[in-house]
């Protein structure tokens, strides 16, 4: 189980810097990681639909109907929703503003992304976070552009690896019959 400090400390080790035991510690590494960690974490978990960040929830209709845009129903977006993936409903369209979703469907299931606790992250994503933190911190910690470029390459390679592993945890969609597949014979 990884923690914020574990990932930041390992990123500093990748740069040849001393590990840290807190973000308030002395030294440039602790300060840089303190400044970079949260924004990097949020960027990383929202930049691709990682399976471990997905959540689904049946929404309850709000009692007061919408008063605009010809929508009949509104639903409140769950408090733990970081970004929305989509709304499963019988309607083809919906819109959202602030913390409300508007649709003409009387029932709706929201698919969205959450911010998981670091202790729940799969190992491939922990390695990705460490590599990404090292890449983003390299110049500030080491002032070596060649090391920064190397860390960026390693982080990009880890991204591809992590995305591939994560994709293996999802089911493949069946190829449906269409005029494009039928002409192949």
* Span 35-82, pLDDT tens digits: 999 999 999 999 889 999 999 999 999 998 887 778 889 999 999 999
118 φ/ψ angles, rounded to the nearest 5 degrees? -60, -35
61 φ/ψ angles, rounded to the nearest 5 degrees? -65, 145
Residues 15 and 103 in one domain: no
Query: What is the rounded CA–CA span in Å between residue 172 and residue 170?
Result: 6
Q: State yes or no: pLDDT of 185 exceeds 60.
A: no
pLDDT per residue over 126-168, tens digit each?
999 999 999 999 999 999 999 999 999 999 999 999 999 999 9
Answer whether residue 153 is part of any domain: yes
Residues 27 and 73 in one domain: no
Q: Domain ends where: 71, 95, 113?
A: 113
Answer whether residue 9 is part of any domain: yes
pLDDT per residue over 75-118, tens digit each?
999 999 998 888 887 766 888 888 999 988 888 899 999 999 99
Answer whether residue 172 is part of any domain: no
pTM of the model: 0.82
Residues 124 and 160 in one domain: yes
Q: Determine what percent of the chain falls in helix, strand and coil, rounding each to the nearest 5.
A: 45, 15, 40
State residue 175's pLDDT score. Answer: 55
Residues 93 and 139 in one domain: no
Answer whether residue 183 is part of any domain: no
Residues 139 and 56 in one domain: no
Sign of CA dihedral 32, 13, 1, 77: positive
φ/ψ region of 143 (left if φ > 0, alpha if ψ in -120 to 50, else beta) reads left
State residue 95's pLDDT score. Answer: 86
Answer whether residue 148 is part of any domain: yes
Answer whether residue 179 is part of any domain: no
Q: Which tokens hold the place of 135?
A: 């890449």
Residues 139 and 107 in one domain: no
Residues 57 and 30 in one domain: no
In the chain, where does DSSP find H-type helix? 4-14, 28-46, 123-142, 145-168, 179-182
Q: State yes or no: pLDDT of 174 exceeds 60.
A: no
State residue 169's pLDDT score. Answer: 80
| Domains: count for the chain | 2
Answer whether residue 17 is part of any domain: yes
Indicate the pLDDT class of residue 25, thresholds 50, 70 and 90.
Answer: confident
Q: Name the residue range of residue 108's domain.
A: 51-113
């Amino acid at each position: 189980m990884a923690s914020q400090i574990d990932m930041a400390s390992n990123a500093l080790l990748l740069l040849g810097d001393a590990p840290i035991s807190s973000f308030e510690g002395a030294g440039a590494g602790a300060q840089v990681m303190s400044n970079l960690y949260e924004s990097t974490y949020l960027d990383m978990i929202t930049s691709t639909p990682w399976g471990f960040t997905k959540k689904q929830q049946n929404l309850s209709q709000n009692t007061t109907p919408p008063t605009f845009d010809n929508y009949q129903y509104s639903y409140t977006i769950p408090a733990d929703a970081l970004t929305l993936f989509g709304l499963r409903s019988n309607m083809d369209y919906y819109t959202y503003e602030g913390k409300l979703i508007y649709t003409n469907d009387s029932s709706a299931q929201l698919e969205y992304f959450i911010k998981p606790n670091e202790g729940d992250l799969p190992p491939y994503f922990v390695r990705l976070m460490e590599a990404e933190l090292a890449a983003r911190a390299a110049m500030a910690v080491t002032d070596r552009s060649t090391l920064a470029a190397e860390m960026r390459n390693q982080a990009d390679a880890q991204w591809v690896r992590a995305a591939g592993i994560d994709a293996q945890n999802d089911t493949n969609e069946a190829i449906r019959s269409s005029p494009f597949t039928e002409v192949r014979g």
